[in-house]
Amino acid sequence: MPTLTRKLTALVALAAASFCTQADAAEAQLRLDAAAPGPVINKNIYGQFAEHLGHCIYEGIWVGPDSPIPNTKGYRNDVLAALKNLGVPQLRWPGGCFADEYHWMDGIGDRSKRPSMFNSHWGGVVENNHFGTHEFLDLCEMLGIEPYVCLNVGSGTVQEAMEWVEYMTSPADSPMANLRRANGRDKPWKVPFLAVGNESWGCGGNMRAEFCADNFRRYNTFVKNYSDVKVQRIACGASADDYDWTDKMMAIAGKQMNGLALHYYTLPTNDWKGSKGVATGFAEDQYFSTLRNTLQMEYLLNKHIAIMDKYDPEKKVAMVVDEWGIWTDSEPGTNPGFLYQQNSIRDAILAALNFHIFHAHADRVTMANIAQMVNVLQAMILTDKEKMLLTPTYHVFEMYKPFQGATSIPVKLLTPDYAFKDEKIPAVSATAARATDDKVRLALVNVLPNETATVTCALAGLDAKSATGRILTATAMDSHNTFAAPDTVVPQPFTGSVIANGKLTVTLPAKSVVVLELQ
């Protein structure tokens, strides 16, 4: 897993400076210029990640057609409905570290005859391979999700990867396409995104950057386009602040790749070897450190993108942040290898801050995948046998749906500080865009845990008369939804905004996320 960037105080100061300026007064001031549109915010920034890890796949998405839990062809009906409502644009599978031990032929054909496998990375459990290529791609097709498949580069072969792509995407009268037909699928699927390995610097093979780059060129040569859908090849990128990795990958293989990945996790404590921090029951020190650490994403993107710009000034290669989110200690009493953690209003705020950073880099960041979709890390959905709940992070993803495919609008923000002990971060964050329905959306975040923030916004190039929207907030820093109380943190109508004399004034409660529609 990624190593964590050091020198936090200096980095966060730079990160904050890159997207806002500190105001002297307690009130935040914002200018929105709708007459100067920026780049399109790619819908794929709102992607998800489903790995064979813990109960993400089994019990989370897949229960099998014979389960007493209501299902459609083995997929949980409640989870299907929740994902459909979320509008997931793309989904990464089967890993993660799991991908580089996964051999796809074990997961096709008659389920009763599929060989089991030992999941050495996550919990040391044996799984039956009942969820494989057909199950994943059929799920994507059912929900209108674009598949993002991660190839096994660590323990697999070039031939295995080449044949898998043929199996999935070829319409020809060829061996792998005919094997697919024999397994019940005549028409090929569309698979627009392929990851050529995962974390090749670590669990994916402990490779040097030079070897990984050469290996990418090799796999890229043999992975074919079999239909009118050109497969986008995403190369294994850096862990957090490994800028040398990015430099070597771009220098050696930049002209062959369509995207370069980046992995960065927010840890409340910055301690990979000890306690990462708790998901609930934390005090303000971990609330602050979590938000401070997640703002490093801005600094990391600036540094990696500057290297990419050196080799690719035309921005043909996308930055793909295909693992991000908060990583805390697992819930007490659960298998630590299953990475099951609760999810609070703090985590929803963290997600919104990352959305804003991705929007600010929409000319280069075109895909991202939060880790993970169900029951693992910063999940959208938690399940317990027949029960299901939606987390605060699910709700913030749902609130930001209008930003998928929207055209960004520049904002200038003067914000007060959120000061804790001897450190400071911006108290308010903002992003704006003109959505595909031609309506302007403004999203605001107040990270202050106990104080209201007032934002006064000048509306340039926009004759708005009203502002309506929703808010996600809570009473405590660690407020979260449980199976006994699943609606503790849910969006509510927002009434704290007014437009007068061409200015919008918004009163943001403490620890809140607000998305407004300006009309």
Active site residues: 199, 323
Name the nearest CA neighbour of 397 among 85, 94, 91, 92: 85
**Cα–Cα distance for residue pair 480/391, rounded to 1 Å:** 7
Angle formed by the axes of helices 345-360 and 392-399, nearest 10°:
30
What are the backbone dihedrals phi and psi of residue 265, each rounded to the nearest 5 degrees, phi first?
-110, 145
**Cα–Cα distance for residue pair 58/317, rounded to 1 Å:** 35
**Cα–Cα distance for residue pair 489/343, rounded to 1 Å:** 10
CB-CB contact of 259 with 319 (8 Å): yes
**Cα–Cα distance for residue pair 121/97, rounded to 1 Å:** 7
Which one-letter DSSP state was computed for residue 128? -
CA dihedral 396, 400, 401, 406 (to 10 degrees): -160
**Cα–Cα distance for residue pair 127/132, rounded to 1 Å:** 11
> How many other CB atoms are there within 10 angstroms of residue 311's CB atom?
16
**Cα–Cα distance for residue pair 5/386, rounded to 1 Å:** 40
Residue reference for tokens 């990624």: 2
> How many other CB atoms are there within 10 angstroms of residue 495's CB atom?
10
Which one-letter DSSP state was computed for residue 99? G
What are the backbone dihedrals phi and psi of residue 105, each rounded to the nearest 5 degrees, phi first?
-65, -20
For residue 399, what are its two tokens? 């609130």
**Torsion sign, CA atoms 47, 52, 55, 58:** positive
* C-alpha distances out from residue 52 to 98, 224, 279, 337, Å: 6, 26, 22, 12
Residue reference for tokens 């602050």: 288
